[in-house]
Amino acid sequence: MNLQPKYYGFIKDGTKRIELRLNDEKRRQIQLGDIIEFSKSEDDIFRAEVIGLLRYNTFEDLFEDFDISILADSSMTKGELMDALSEFYTPEKQAKYGVVGIRLKLI
């Protein structure tokens, strides 16, 4: 999975422990124990194990159950993270697919 540099850093340094995505066909194939390779460029890659799959109707619903400190980094607010997610995932897409929080453990 490709990540924007800021979020790549949050996961790599261990603060962001849940990757947020639409629960589209590609994400529905992810299973517990899978290894995901994250990258921000061809030369900067790390891997993480899937240790949980959190399925919700919307990111807003998911945000009610988790603190920002594991969704991104405590330097952000939930509102800022919601705004960033809205750039990629419209409410219509969230309604169509639902969302998934992919709980990660660095390996």
CATH of the domain at 91: 2.30.130.30
pLDDT band, very low/low/confident/very high, at 92 (cuts 50, 70, 90) = very high
Contact between 54 and 103 (Cβ < 8 Å) = yes
pLDDT at 94 over 90: yes
pLDDT band, very low/low/confident/very high, at 43 (cuts 50, 70, 90) = confident
Average pLDDT over residues 65-69: 94
Confidence (pLDDT) at 8 = 92
| Helix H or strand E segment including 19 | strand 18-22
Return mean pLDDT, the chain.
94
> What one-character DSSP code corresponds to residue 77?
-
Average pLDDT over residues 1-23: 93
pLDDT band, very low/low/confident/very high, at 41 (cuts 50, 70, 90) = confident
Confidence (pLDDT) at 83 = 94
What is the number of structural domains in the chain?
Answer: 1
Confidence (pLDDT) at 82 = 95
For the record, the structure tokens of 49 come out as 């194990």
pLDDT at 40 over 90: no
* Range 14-17 contact pairs with CB under 8 angstroms and sequence separation of 24 or more: 14/106, 15/69, 15/70, 15/72, 15/73, 15/74, 16/70, 16/71, 16/72, 16/73, 17/70, 17/103, 17/104, 17/105
Domain that includes residue 95, residue range? 5-106
What is the identity of the amino acid at 60?
E
